[in-house]
Amino acid sequence: MQGHEVVAAVHAEVLDLLDGGAGAASAVEAAVARREPLLGPVARSSLVQAVLSRISGMGSLEALFADGGVTEVMVNGPGIVFVERYGRLEETDVRVDAEELDRLVERMVAPTGRRVDRSSPWADGRLPDGSRVNVVVQPIALDGPYITVRRFGERRFTIEDLSEPPVGVVLHRAVRDRCNVVVTGATGSGKTTLLGALASAVGPNERLVTVEDAAELNIDRVHVVRMEARPPNCEGVGEVTVRDLVRNALRMRPDRIVVGEVRGAEAFDMLQALNTGHDGSLSTCHANGSGDALRRLATMVLMASPGLSVEVADSLVAGSVDVIVHMVRAGAERRVSEVLEVRPPGSDPPVQALVVGGLVLPAAASGADGANRSRWGR
C-alpha cells in the first residue's frame, strides 16, 4: 500500500479501538507493524507520526505548521493545500481529501467555542498555538470547506524591526508622549505586529488592557490584561462583543487600552474613551491609506449612533486620535510607510504629515519635548 493509504487505513482501525485517544501511540505502532512488517524504523516512525497527527493534531497540515517560514496556510476545499512562505504564495505537495477536511474543520472550530454549519457557515477563532483560523463551509463555500490559518511566530517584533531608525524615533516619541495611535493598512500588512511592538514600548509600570475579537497580540510586558470577544452559542445567546469589552475595559483601571482592531460600532466607544482621559491608547483599522482611516473611523461612529451628524463624527475622531501610522507590505517585508499627526477639530488642513514614504519630515521634530502631552507637538 502507498503511504497515504496506510495512514488512512490505520487511522480508521485505531479509531474503532480507542475511546478519547487513550493509548493512541501504542495502538498505532502495533497497527502499522501488522500492516507493514517490512518497514524500517525511520519509515515506520514516519507513518506512526502521520496517523497520530490525524488523531490529535492537524493531520496532513502538521508539517506545514512546523515550518517556521510558513505564515499562512490555505485549504481551498479538498485537494491542493497552498501556503504563504516568506511572503510568497506557494503550492505544496500536501493534499487533503473531503473526509480529512471535515475532521480538520471540527478539530479547529470545536475548541474555540464557535459553531459552523449550514445555518452559520463561517467562523473565526484562535488555535492553541495562537494562530488565527477562519473556516467557511457550504453553502457559502461552493467548493469547500475552506480553511485559512494565519500563523504568528514566537518572535516578538520591535518598532526598530518594522521601521527605519529615524521613523522608529518618531514612533517611540508617540508612545512616550501618550499619543492615541491608530495603525492602518491592508490585510497582512503587519498592523497587528506593529500594534504589539508599540504596546511593548510602553513603560513597564503601566497597566495595559487589551481587547480583541480573536486574541493575536504578543506584548512584551508583565502587566497586561487580555480579553477576547465571544460569539453566541447554539441557542443564539451568550455573545460578548468587542464593543462590550471596550466598555468593560474602562472599569478595569487601565493606563492604556489596546483594541486589536476596530471594525464597527465599537469605534464609537473607543473614541469616547480616548476623549475622556485615556491617553496613550492604541488600535488598528483596515484602510488604504492613513488619510482614509479618518473617514473610516467617522463612518463607524455614525454606524453606532446614526443620529449624529457627519460634522460631529469628524470632530469626535479629530478630538480623540493623535497619530495615524500606515503599514505597507512588499513581499515578505512589512514597513511603516506614513505617519500623520491628526490636528484638532476644525483645523485646516486636518492632518500634518510626519513621515511620508518611510522618510521623516521636518514637521516630526516640531513642538516642545516632554511627556504627558495628548497631542503631537503641542
Residue 45 pLDDT: 80
- By three-state DSSP, how is residue 50 classified? helix
The answer for residues whose C-beta is within 8 angstroms of residue 99's C-beta and 6 or more apart is none
What pLDDT is recorded for position 40?
Answer: 79
CATH numeric code, 60-152: 3.30.450.370
CA distances from 28 to 57, 94, 101, 106 (A): 14, 22, 21, 22
pLDDT, position 13: 56
Instruction: Report the topology of domain 159-365.
Output: Rossmann fold (3.40.50)
Contacts of 74 by beta carbon, 8 Å cutoff, 6+ apart: 81, 82, 83, 84, 146, 147, 148, 149
pLDDT at 168: 96
Over residues 179-190, the mean pLDDT reads: 92
Give the per-residue pLDDT at 154.
67
Domain parsing of the chain, residue ranges: 1-56, 60-152, 159-365
In tens, the pLDDT along 234-245 reads: 677 788 988 899
pLDDT higher than threshold 70 for residue 71? yes
3-state helix, strand, coil in the chain (%, to 5): 35, 25, 40
> Does 35 score more than 60 pLDDT?
yes
Note the helical H segments in the chain: 3-17, 24-35, 41-56, 62-65, 98-109, 165-176, 191-200, 242-249, 266-274, 290-304, 310-320
Poorest-pLDDT segment among 48-62, 255-269, 362-376: 362-376
How many Cβ atoms sit within 10 Å of the Cβ of residue 162? 21
pLDDT band at 56 (very low <50, low <70, confident <90, very high): low
> What length does the chain have?
378
Q: Is the pTM of this model over 0.75?
A: yes
- The predicted-structure confidence for 112-156, as pLDDT tens digits, reads as follows 767 788 888 988 888 877 788 999 999 999 998 999 998 876 678
pLDDT at res. 68:
84
**In this predicted structure, what is the pLDDT of residue 31?**
78
